[in-house]
Amino acid sequence: MTAWSNRTAAEGKAIALVPTMGFFHEGHLSLMRSAARQAGAVVVSLFVNPIQFGPAEDLDRYPRDFERDSALAAREQVDALFAPEAAAMYPEGFQTRIAVTELSQGLCGAGRPGHFEGVATVVAKLFHIVRPQVAIFGEKDFQQLAIIRRLVRDLDLDVEIVGQPIVREADGLAMSSRNAYLSAAERQSARCLSRALRWGRELAAGGETDAGRLRAALESMLAADPTVTVEYVAVVHETTLRPQQQIDRHSRLALAVKIGRTRLIDNGLLFAPEQG
């Protein structure tokens, strides 16, 4: 992979990297298209990263379909699909982890200890192996995006991080590879996330400024469905991810629920950029 990147750079082409765990959907494909607009060559990494999964999480059953993913990447005219084996990324004796300490606290980090160390470590390795000038990430995993931006700043990595808006199904559900786990009934329940985001924005637009009251209202709404287990409803600053007491133009609503065995997340600004 690095040899290919070096040859591509010698040809004068900038490289854009789209890191993924595969099982592509329209959200992934939109990242590939964005990458093609920003660089002369596009690399998509496809790696289900074992060190970001906890012992009770879904590493073994995470959806995989390499042939389908290869065909979709080819359709998008991706220049290189990088799909390493775990043993190549983490050979025997591997013991290094990268921790972005403050941003990893709270939200998903609270219930998934070690997860973001695994993310930061694999992304740093991908940057060193692929050597991109630009890397494209979706905003659905907003905490992850904030952590990668901090990682790049703190370690002086020479790569531009570009965030892309969440791609949604027609009914508002954020696209995710894990949506494949949902039964038909669970898929209907999953619409609660986009409804909560919409209602949160309506409350803010209607003058609600107390983040605690807004969180309580949305928690009650989500918990009204017996198939939904609320993990968190949070109002945080869009840059620092610190919890906010008062809602302002920097407030981002972040949600995580479990529906059956499937964990789903969503987020969005409470005010459009021109509001607040």
Using a 10 angstrom Cβ sphere, with 0-12 exposed, 13-18 middle and 19 or more buried, the burial of residue 132 is buried
Same domain, 129 and 206: no
Where residue 71 sits, what CATH number does that domain have? 3.40.50.620
CA distance 159 to 152: 7
170 is a domain residue: no
Do 252 and 225 form a contact (C-beta atoms < 8 A)?
Answer: no
**Considering 164, 195, 217, which residue would you say is the last residue of a domain?**
164
Same domain, 12 and 104: yes
Tally of domains in the chain? 2
Domain enclosing residue 215, as ranges = 177-269
Alpha-helix runs per DSSP H in the chain: 2-10, 26-38, 66-75, 86-89, 108-111, 115-130, 142-154, 184-189, 192-205, 211-223
Catalytic residue, from 28, 115, 237, 250: name it.
Answer: 28
Half-sphere exposure of 85 (CA within 13 A, CB side): 4
Same domain, 55 and 120: yes
**Considering 123, 140, 164, which residue would you say is the last residue of a domain?**
164
Q: In terms of DSSP bridges, do strands 160-164 and 228-237 run parallel, antiparallel, or are they unpaired?
A: unpaired
Do 162 and 152 form a contact (C-beta atoms < 8 A)?
Answer: no
Using a 10 angstrom Cβ sphere, with 0-12 exposed, 13-18 middle and 19 or more buried, the burial of residue 9 is middle
- 16: tokens are 């854009």
- State residue 272's pLDDT score: 79
Same domain, 185 and 158: no
Same domain, 84 and 129: yes
169 is a domain residue: no
The one-letter amino acid code at 213 reads R
- State residue 67's pLDDT score: 98
Do 170 and 145 form a contact (C-beta atoms < 8 A)?
Answer: no
Same domain, 88 and 152: yes
Same domain, 159 and 121: yes
Same domain, 13 and 101: yes
275 is a domain residue: no
Is residue 28 annotated as a catalytic residue, yes or no?
Answer: yes
- State residue 276's pLDDT score: 42
CA distance 118 to 126: 12
- State residue 274's pLDDT score: 53
276 is a domain residue: no
Same domain, 106 and 36: yes
Same domain, 150 and 212: no
CA distance 88 to 90: 6
CA distance 204 to 251: 10
110 is a domain residue: yes
Using a 10 angstrom Cβ sphere, with 0-12 exposed, 13-18 middle and 19 or more buried, the burial of residue 40 is middle
- In order along the chain (276 residues), what is the average pLDDT of each group of 10 residues? 98 98 97 98 98 95 97 98 98 97 96 96 98 98 98 98 97 96 97 98 97 98 96 97 97 97 97 64
Same domain, 73 and 103: yes
